[in-house]
Protein backbone atom coordinates (compact mmCIF):
# COMPACT_ATOMS: atom_id res chain seq x y z
CA UNK A 1 0.00 0.00 0.00
CA UNK A 2 2.80 2.42 0.92
CA UNK A 3 4.63 1.63 -2.32
CA UNK A 4 1.44 2.29 -4.31
CA UNK A 5 1.00 5.67 -2.63
CA UNK A 6 4.63 6.55 -3.32
CA UNK A 7 4.17 5.47 -6.94
CA UNK A 8 1.06 7.63 -7.34
CA UNK A 9 2.70 10.71 -5.82
CA UNK A 10 5.89 10.13 -7.83
CA UNK A 11 3.88 9.90 -11.07
CA UNK A 12 1.94 13.01 -10.09
CA UNK A 13 5.21 14.88 -9.59
CA UNK A 14 6.57 13.52 -12.87
CA UNK A 15 3.39 14.59 -14.66
CA UNK A 16 3.63 18.10 -13.21
CA UNK A 17 7.26 18.47 -14.33
CA UNK A 18 6.49 17.12 -17.81
CA UNK A 19 3.59 19.57 -18.23
CA UNK A 20 5.77 22.40 -16.90
CA UNK A 21 8.39 21.49 -19.51
CA UNK A 22 5.74 21.72 -22.24
CA UNK A 23 4.58 25.10 -20.93
CA UNK A 24 8.16 26.38 -21.17
CA UNK A 25 8.41 24.88 -24.66
CA UNK A 26 5.39 26.79 -25.96
CA UNK A 27 6.05 29.97 -24.01
CA UNK A 28 6.62 32.95 -26.32
CA UNK A 29 6.99 30.69 -29.38
CA UNK A 30 5.63 32.24 -32.55
CA UNK A 31 4.03 29.10 -34.04
CA UNK A 32 2.23 26.38 -32.07
CA UNK A 33 2.19 24.06 -35.09
CA UNK A 34 5.91 24.49 -35.70
CA UNK A 35 7.04 23.81 -32.13
CA UNK A 36 4.60 20.88 -31.96
CA UNK A 37 6.31 19.35 -34.99
CA UNK A 38 9.65 18.80 -33.27
CA UNK A 39 10.24 15.18 -32.33
CA UNK A 40 11.07 15.99 -28.71
CA UNK A 41 7.81 17.94 -28.30
CA UNK A 42 5.82 15.03 -29.70
CA UNK A 43 7.55 12.59 -27.34
CA UNK A 44 6.82 14.91 -24.40
CA UNK A 45 3.12 15.05 -25.29
CA UNK A 46 2.95 11.27 -25.56
CA UNK A 47 4.76 10.95 -22.23
CA UNK A 48 2.14 13.15 -20.53
CA UNK A 49 -0.66 10.94 -21.86
CA UNK A 50 1.17 7.75 -20.86
CA UNK A 51 1.91 9.06 -17.35
CA UNK A 52 -1.75 9.99 -16.85
CA UNK A 53 -2.88 6.49 -17.84
CA UNK A 54 -0.13 4.89 -15.72
CA UNK A 55 -1.25 6.93 -12.71
CA UNK A 56 -4.89 5.90 -13.22
CA UNK A 57 -3.87 2.25 -13.48
CA UNK A 58 -1.82 2.60 -10.29
CA UNK A 59 -4.79 4.12 -8.46
CA UNK A 60 -6.94 1.18 -9.61
CA UNK A 61 -4.11 -1.22 -8.64
CA UNK A 62 -3.93 -2.56 -12.19
CA UNK A 63 -0.68 -3.56 -13.91
CA UNK A 64 0.52 -1.61 -16.94
CA UNK A 65 0.58 -4.15 -19.75
CA UNK A 66 -0.32 -4.69 -23.38
CA UNK A 67 -0.55 -1.61 -25.57
CA UNK A 68 -0.06 0.76 -22.62
CA UNK A 69 3.17 -1.01 -21.69
CA UNK A 70 4.30 -0.66 -25.29
CA UNK A 71 3.80 3.10 -25.20
CA UNK A 72 5.41 3.26 -21.75
CA UNK A 73 8.59 1.58 -22.94
CA UNK A 74 8.45 3.42 -26.28
CA UNK A 75 8.47 6.80 -24.53
CA UNK A 76 11.43 5.73 -22.40
CA UNK A 77 13.36 4.52 -25.46
CA UNK A 78 12.64 7.66 -27.48
CA UNK A 79 13.51 9.90 -24.53
CA UNK A 80 16.87 8.16 -24.12
CA UNK A 81 17.54 8.53 -27.86
CA UNK A 82 16.62 12.23 -27.91
CA UNK A 83 18.70 12.83 -24.79
CA UNK A 84 21.83 11.49 -26.49
CA UNK A 85 21.01 13.17 -29.81
CA UNK A 86 20.65 16.51 -28.04
CA UNK A 87 23.88 16.15 -26.05
CA UNK A 88 26.06 14.60 -28.76
CA UNK A 89 24.72 16.02 -32.04
CA UNK A 90 22.65 19.13 -31.44
CA UNK A 91 24.62 20.92 -28.70
CA UNK A 92 27.97 20.98 -30.61
CA UNK A 93 26.13 22.04 -33.78
CA UNK A 94 24.22 24.86 -32.06
CA UNK A 95 27.40 26.15 -30.41
CA UNK A 96 29.24 26.09 -33.72
CA UNK A 97 26.44 27.93 -35.54
CA UNK A 98 26.54 30.74 -32.96
CA UNK A 99 22.89 31.68 -33.48
CA UNK A 100 22.24 32.67 -29.91
CA UNK A 101 20.50 29.46 -28.88
CA UNK A 102 21.00 28.76 -25.17
CA UNK A 103 22.11 25.14 -24.91
CA UNK A 104 21.40 23.28 -21.67
CA UNK A 105 18.88 25.96 -20.78
CA UNK A 106 16.42 25.42 -17.93
CA UNK A 107 13.76 24.34 -20.43
CA UNK A 108 16.07 22.03 -22.38
CA UNK A 109 17.35 20.46 -19.16
CA UNK A 110 13.79 19.63 -18.09
CA UNK A 111 12.55 18.16 -21.38
CA UNK A 112 15.78 16.46 -22.43
CA UNK A 113 17.14 15.20 -19.12
CA UNK A 114 14.98 15.58 -16.01
CA UNK A 115 11.76 14.09 -17.41
CA UNK A 116 13.55 11.12 -19.07
CA UNK A 117 15.56 10.36 -15.92
CA UNK A 118 12.46 10.56 -13.72
CA UNK A 119 10.55 8.30 -16.12
CA UNK A 120 13.34 5.71 -16.00
CA UNK A 121 13.32 6.02 -12.20
CA UNK A 122 9.57 5.40 -12.16
CA UNK A 123 10.11 2.27 -14.25
CA UNK A 124 12.80 0.80 -12.00
CA UNK A 125 11.15 1.57 -8.64
CA UNK A 126 7.39 1.62 -9.21
CA UNK A 127 6.44 -0.25 -12.39
CA UNK A 128 5.56 -3.93 -12.48
CA UNK A 129 7.88 -5.58 -14.95
CA UNK A 130 7.77 -8.59 -17.23
CA UNK A 131 5.36 -7.25 -19.85
CA UNK A 132 7.91 -6.24 -22.50
CA UNK A 133 7.71 -8.28 -25.71
CA UNK A 134 10.22 -8.67 -28.52
CA UNK A 135 7.76 -7.28 -31.09
CA UNK A 136 7.93 -3.93 -29.30
CA UNK A 137 11.51 -3.52 -30.53
CA UNK A 138 10.34 -3.79 -34.15
CA UNK A 139 7.62 -1.19 -33.64
CA UNK A 140 10.07 1.17 -31.94
CA UNK A 141 12.23 1.11 -35.06
CA UNK A 142 9.25 2.26 -37.14
CA UNK A 143 8.66 5.39 -35.01
CA UNK A 144 11.41 7.46 -36.74
CA UNK A 145 9.91 6.54 -40.12
CA UNK A 146 6.46 7.66 -38.96
CA UNK A 147 8.04 10.97 -37.94
CA UNK A 148 9.76 11.34 -41.32
CA UNK A 149 6.39 10.68 -42.96
CA UNK A 150 4.82 13.39 -40.81
CA UNK A 151 7.56 15.82 -41.86
CA UNK A 152 6.72 15.16 -45.51
CA UNK A 153 3.09 16.09 -44.87
CA UNK A 154 4.14 19.12 -42.80
CA UNK A 155 6.43 20.28 -45.61
CA UNK A 156 3.77 19.69 -48.29
CA UNK A 157 1.40 21.94 -46.33
CA UNK A 158 3.98 24.72 -46.29
CA UNK A 159 5.30 24.12 -42.80
CA UNK A 160 8.76 25.47 -41.98
CA UNK A 161 11.17 25.47 -39.04
CA UNK A 162 12.87 28.63 -37.83
CA UNK A 163 16.31 28.66 -36.24
CA UNK A 164 17.76 32.08 -35.54
CA UNK A 165 17.46 34.13 -38.70
CA UNK A 166 17.04 31.18 -41.05
CA UNK A 167 13.96 29.24 -42.09
CA UNK A 168 14.28 25.60 -43.11
CA UNK A 169 12.18 22.70 -44.29
CA UNK A 170 13.87 20.40 -41.78
CA UNK A 171 13.77 20.54 -37.96
CA UNK A 172 17.29 19.15 -37.46
CA UNK A 173 20.46 19.57 -39.49
CA UNK A 174 21.05 15.80 -39.74
CA UNK A 175 17.71 15.48 -41.58
CA UNK A 176 18.51 18.24 -44.05
CA UNK A 177 19.11 16.15 -47.15
CA UNK A 178 19.51 19.26 -49.30
CA UNK A 179 22.49 20.43 -47.22
CA UNK A 180 24.26 17.21 -46.21
CA UNK A 181 23.31 14.94 -49.12
CA UNK A 182 21.71 11.51 -49.15
CA UNK A 183 24.93 9.72 -48.24
CA UNK A 184 25.49 11.56 -44.96
CA UNK A 185 21.76 11.50 -44.24
CA UNK A 186 21.77 7.72 -44.64
CA UNK A 187 24.67 7.40 -42.20
CA UNK A 188 22.80 9.45 -39.59
CA UNK A 189 19.59 7.50 -40.18
CA UNK A 190 21.22 4.07 -39.91
CA UNK A 191 23.11 5.19 -36.81
CA UNK A 192 19.94 6.41 -35.10
CA UNK A 193 17.96 3.32 -36.05
CA UNK A 194 20.77 1.19 -34.68
CA UNK A 195 20.71 3.18 -31.45
CA UNK A 196 16.93 2.78 -31.18
CA UNK A 197 17.35 -0.99 -31.57
CA UNK A 198 20.14 -1.04 -28.97
CA UNK A 199 18.19 0.94 -26.36
CA UNK A 200 15.03 -1.10 -27.06
CA UNK A 201 16.94 -4.37 -26.69
CA UNK A 202 18.53 -3.18 -23.43
CA UNK A 203 15.11 -2.25 -22.05
CA UNK A 204 13.63 -5.59 -23.15
CA UNK A 205 16.52 -7.55 -21.64
CA UNK A 206 16.41 -5.68 -18.33
CA UNK A 207 12.63 -6.11 -18.16
CA UNK A 208 12.92 -9.88 -18.67
CA UNK A 209 15.80 -10.28 -16.21
CA UNK A 210 14.27 -8.18 -13.44
CA UNK A 211 10.90 -9.89 -13.77
CA UNK A 212 12.44 -13.38 -13.48
CA UNK A 213 13.08 -14.62 -9.93
CA UNK A 214 16.75 -15.34 -9.32
CA UNK A 215 17.51 -19.02 -8.96
CA UNK A 216 19.73 -20.09 -6.04
CA UNK A 217 23.33 -20.77 -6.98
CA UNK A 218 23.31 -23.98 -5.00
CA UNK A 219 20.88 -26.17 -3.15
CA UNK A 220 21.40 -27.16 0.44
CA UNK A 221 20.78 -30.85 0.56
CA UNK A 222 19.07 -32.29 3.57
CA UNK A 223 21.23 -34.46 5.70
CA UNK A 224 20.15 -38.05 5.76
Question: pLDDT for 31-77, tens place per residue?
Answer: 899 999 999 999 999 999 999 999 999 999 988 889 999 999 999 99
* Predicted pLDDT at 212: 59
Residue-range domain boundaries for the chain: 2-211
* Predicted pLDDT at 80: 95
> Is residue 97 predicted with pLDDT exceeding 90?
no
Residue among 139, 113, 134, 125 at smallest CA distance from 203: 134
**E strand or H helix at 49:** helix 39-59
Q: Rounded distance, CA 83 to CA 201, Å? A: 17
- The least confident of 71-80, 164-173, 198-207 is 164-173
Residue among 107, 110, 104 at smallest CA distance from 86: 104
> Is residue 11 predicted with pLDDT exceeding 90?
yes
Instruction: Give the global pTM.
Output: 0.89
pLDDT band at residue 117 using 50, 70 and 90 as cut-offs: very high
Amino acid sequence: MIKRLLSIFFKLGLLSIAIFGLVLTYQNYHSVVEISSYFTTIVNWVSVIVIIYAMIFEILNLPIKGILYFWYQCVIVMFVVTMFVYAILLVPYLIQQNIGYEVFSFRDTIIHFIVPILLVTDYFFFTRKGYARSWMISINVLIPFFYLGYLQVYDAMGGRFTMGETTNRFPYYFLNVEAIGWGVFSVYLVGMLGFVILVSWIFYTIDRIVSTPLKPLYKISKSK
